[in-house]
């Protein structure tokens, strides 16, 4: 009889596993949570990247203004944003005392910014990110100007 008691205590101490109903219930709960949470997070990621890109553009704006203070002009389109990292030819050491950024940043999607100077929008220069779709000239571009020609950053 002691032998039987030992087997019962072992069964109680080591359950056999989950039933099919328990597994289905857990799967339903996980899928319900995913259905509720996922749509809320999807839009946040896109907006976060847009905000990050705007911050990067404002940082570039500050660096370009510092370049202009020292050199008396903004980098040309041909010199591009690389003029913030490497001294353009024709500038003296006093006009370009040091690099303004360690490296030219890319937007939040990993694409290079488009820089044009002189501006085509009545500003000192145009600075544009291709935005989420990675294509310049589309509706989701992020620029330092608005479509009415004013400064948007």
| Domain residue limits, the chain | 49-143
Give the pair of three-digit tokens for residue 114. 């488009």
Q: How much of the chain, in percent, has pLDDT values that exceed 90? A: 52
Q: What is the DSSP string of the chain?
A: -HHHHHHHHHHHHS-----HHHHHHHHHHHHHHHHHHHHHHHHHHHHHHHHHHHHHHHHHHHHHHHHHHHHSSPPPTTTGGGGGTSPPTT--TTTS-S-SSSS--B-TTSPBPEEESS-SSSSS-EEEE-TTTT-TTSTT-EESB-TTSSB--
Which residue, chain included where needed, has tokens 């203004």?
A: 65
pLDDT of residue 5: 55
pLDDT of residue 150: 45
Give the pair of three-digit tokens for residue 82. 């690389």
Band of pLDDT at residue 71, cut at 50, 70 and 90: very high
Question: What average pLDDT score do residues 91-105 get?
Answer: 89
Q: Which of 4-18, 41-55, 98-112 has the highest mean pLDDT?
A: 98-112
The answer to whether the pTM exceeds 0.75 is: no
Class of domain 49-143: alpha beta
For the chain, the average pLDDT equals 84
């Amino acid at each position: 009889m002691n032998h039987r008691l030992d087997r019962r205590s072992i069964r109680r101490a080591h359950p056999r596993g989950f039933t099919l109903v328990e597994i289905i219930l857990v799967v339903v709960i996980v899928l319900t949570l995913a259905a509720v949470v996922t749509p809320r997070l999807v839009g946040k990621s896109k907006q976060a990247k847009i905000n990050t890109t705007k911050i990067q553009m404002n940082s570039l704006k500050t660096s370009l203004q510092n370049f202009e203070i020292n050199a008396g002009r903004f980098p040309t389109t041909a010199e591009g944003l690389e003029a913030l990292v490497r001294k353009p030819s024709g500038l003296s050491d006093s006009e370009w005392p040091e690099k303004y950024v360690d490296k030219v940043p890319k937007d939040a999607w990993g694409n290079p910014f488009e820089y044009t100077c002189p501006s085509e929008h009545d500003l000192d220069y145009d600075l544009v990110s291709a935005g989420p779709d990675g294509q310049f000239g589309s509706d989701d571009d992020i620029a330092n100007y608005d479509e009415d020609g004013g400064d948007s950053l």
